[in-house]
Amino acid sequence: MNQPRLSQCLTSKYFDLQGGIIKSAALKKLSKPWSQSERFMLHLALHLFSSGLAKVNLADMDYLDSNNKALVHEALKIRFG
């Protein structure tokens, strides 16, 4: 929610939160023109929701700015405690 590019996608076009459904293929297609760091953030979010939705290479965090790195750390804390 706190990543600007991803927050624009938080619509019923891609998410059914009550049903627990994420349209990951549509999100991945949408993200093709995005920057490498924005795609990383999307793939991480999909991976944290369900590891089968996207693979993540944590070494790609090198491309993130300090704000996005902080968001990643917070997301990992939320997911894994």
Cβ atoms of residues 64 and 72 within 8 Å: yes
What is residue 32's predicted lDDT score, i.e. its pLDDT?
Answer: 96
pTM of the predicted model as reported, rounded to 2 decimal places: 0.86
Cβ atoms of residues 39 and 31 within 8 Å: yes
**Residue of 73, 1, 69, 6 whose CA lies nearest to 42:** 6
Chain position carrying tokens 């953030």:
41
Could you give the CA distance from residue 31 to residue 36 in angstroms, rounded to a whole number? 9
Residue 62 structural domain: 4-80
pLDDT digits (tens, 9 = 90+) for 60-81: 999 899 999 999 999 999 999 8
Residue 31 has pLDDT above 90, yes or no: yes
Number of domains in the chain: 1
